[in-house]
């Protein structure tokens, strides 16, 4: 029996986990400024939730979900995406009754899809997402796109492209659907089996097919923008005007469709244009879903959201060679020589930590030279040395490793000295 990590998953080890924390901290801070609050939902939900929301015709539901029966013979599924669970919670907890609408939420956590693992794509991956539910104002569409662009730019990414499209309302989509069927039907046998099924189930998703993207009919397929009714056109024009007002650059791509059935009106993706990032350039995808709340048993509450993979975020950072603003160093490492000094160092480390600083000591009974090397490896800002002489005089030698200076500090003042010195610098 293998005890190795399952295929399509990864261990995030120290040295890498700090990068994840860095991205998450930026995303959460941007959400705070935009007045979005965190929501946490279960990792598994009833399977029916995803069938009803994501759609029976999607690859996610048909091929990629991790589904199992519990002891009560209930069908449960590890969440493949975050929107459905957030909307379910919105309905179940009657958040539509909150006076201030829209309800602005963000989430982060692992998602699960059984797909072929490849660079930057895993079967367990982590998404950060935002949902704004309860407004049909096109300004909230622009706000959501501005928010995610702010996250990427504050992390240091520059080679980004925002691609937008309108999927229109129900009337527009019906007209476009009929045009797509007429366009593809005469030669549908030249397409993959999935696209042949999509022709009758959801022809819009043919445009999203990765296998047949090079087929000549793809380039000449009817554009949704030609089938937007006046209301849908006006809505899309408002969205783009708000993006223009915020000086957010974008490209309109009429072939952009999202892979989930609940989208309508605004759809968008953010691409990385960094050299060497890879053939699949999408970093983030999102859009509006005006009927999803009703579909899950709630009142009419239009929504819009996005989600991005933190794994792909990190890959884009590395492709652009962005410098990570991650503090990996230790504030203080205490070197103790002799049994009495080692005993005293336990409470000293505790005092430094209680003062809000990071501190550590040796736990392997190493010699002084080895302890000093450990301090260097851990990039300690200060190395505090406590030997028998220092202990007898109730003091400790503190070396500032950045400046090379050294001072004698009373033992009971170590934490205060370190904190004051660091704040001064």
> Can you tell me the distance from the alpha carbon of 61 to that of 65, in angstroms, rounded to the nearest whole number?
6
Q: Which strand (E) or helix (H) includes residue 251?
A: strand 251-252
Residue 262 annotated as lining a ligand binding site: yes
Tokens describing residue 154: 């504050």
Residue 113 annotated as lining a ligand binding site: yes
Residue 231 annotated as lining a ligand binding site: no
Residue 131 annotated as lining a ligand binding site: yes
Q: What is the phi/psi pair of residue 358, to 5°?
A: -90, 135
379 Rama sector, left if φ>0, alpha if ψ -120 to 50, beta otherwise: left
Residue 275 annotated as lining a ligand binding site: no
Residue 79 annotated as lining a ligand binding site: no
Tokens describing residue 191: 């397409």
SS3 at position 230 = helix
SS3 at position 68 = strand
Residue 81 annotated as lining a ligand binding site: yes
> Can you tell me the distance from the alpha carbon of 375 to that of 355, in angstroms, rounded to the nearest whole number?
20
Q: What is the phi/psi pair of residue 353, to 5°?
A: -65, -40
Q: Which strand (E) or helix (H) includes residue 284?
A: strand 282-288
**Which strand ranges, in their side-by-side order, compose the sheet holding 103-112?**
37-38, 103-112, 124-133, 303-309, 282-288, 264-272, 160-166, 251-252
Q: Which residues contact 341 (CB under 8 A, 6 or more apart)?
A: 386, 387, 388, 390, 391
- Known binding residues are 81-83, 113, 127, 131, 258, 262-263
- Known binding residues for L-histidine are 81-83, 113, 127, 131, 258, 262-263
């Amino acid at each position: 029996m293998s005890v190795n990590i399952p295929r399509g998953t990864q261990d995030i080890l120290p040295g890498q986990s700090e990068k994840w924390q860095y991205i998450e901290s930026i995303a959460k801070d941007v959400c705070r400024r935009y007045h979005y609050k965190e929501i946490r939902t279960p990792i598994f939900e009833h399977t029916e939730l995803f069938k009803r929301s994501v759609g029976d015709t999607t690859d996610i539901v048909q091929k990629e979900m991790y589904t199992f029966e519990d002891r009560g013979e209930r069908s449960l599924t590890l969440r493949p995406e975050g929107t459905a669970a957030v909307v379910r919670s919105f309905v179940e907890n009657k958040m539509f009754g909150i006076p201030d609408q829209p309800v602005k939420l963000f989430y982060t956590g692992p998602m699960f899809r059984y797909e072929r693992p490849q660079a930057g794509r895993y079967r367990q991956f982590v998404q950060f997402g935002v949902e704004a539910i309860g407004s049909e104002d096109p300004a909230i569409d622009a706000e959501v796109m501005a928010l995610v662009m702010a996250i990427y730019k504050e992390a240091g990414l520059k080679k980004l492209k925002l691609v937008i499209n309108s999927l229109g309302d129900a009337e527009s989509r019906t007209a476009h659907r009929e045009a797509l069927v007429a366009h593809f039907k005469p030669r549908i046998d030249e397409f993959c089996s999935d696209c042949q099924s999509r022709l009758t189930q959801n022809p819009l998703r043919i445009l999203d097919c990765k296998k047949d993207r090079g087929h000549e009919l793809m380039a000449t397929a009817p554009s949704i923008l030609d089938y937007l009714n006046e209301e849908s056109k006006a809505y899309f024009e408002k969205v783009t005007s708000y993006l223009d007002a915020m000086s957010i650059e974008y490209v309109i791509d009429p072939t952009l469709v999202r892979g989930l059935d609940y989208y309508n009106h605004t759809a968008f993706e953010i691409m990385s244009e960094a050299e060497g990032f890879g053939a699949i350039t999408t970093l983030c995808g999102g859009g509006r879903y005006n009927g999803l709340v009703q579909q899950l048993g709630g009142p009419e509450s239009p929504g819009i959201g996005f989600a991005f993979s933190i794994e792909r975020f990190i890959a884009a950072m590395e492709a652009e060679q962005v410098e990570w603003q991650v503090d990996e160093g230790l504030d203080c490492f205490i070197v103790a020589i002799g049994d009495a000094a080692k005993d005293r160092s336990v409470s000293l480390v505790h005092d430094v930590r209680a003062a809000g600083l990071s501190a550590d000591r040796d736990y392997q009974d190493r010699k002084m030279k080895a302890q000093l090397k450990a301090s260097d490896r851990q990039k300690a800002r200060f190395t505090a040395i406590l030997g028998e002489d220092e202990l007898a005089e109730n003091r400790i030698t503190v070396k500032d490793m950045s400046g090379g200076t050294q001072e004698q500090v009373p033992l009971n003042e170590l934490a205060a000295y370190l904190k004051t010195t660091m704040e001064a610098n």
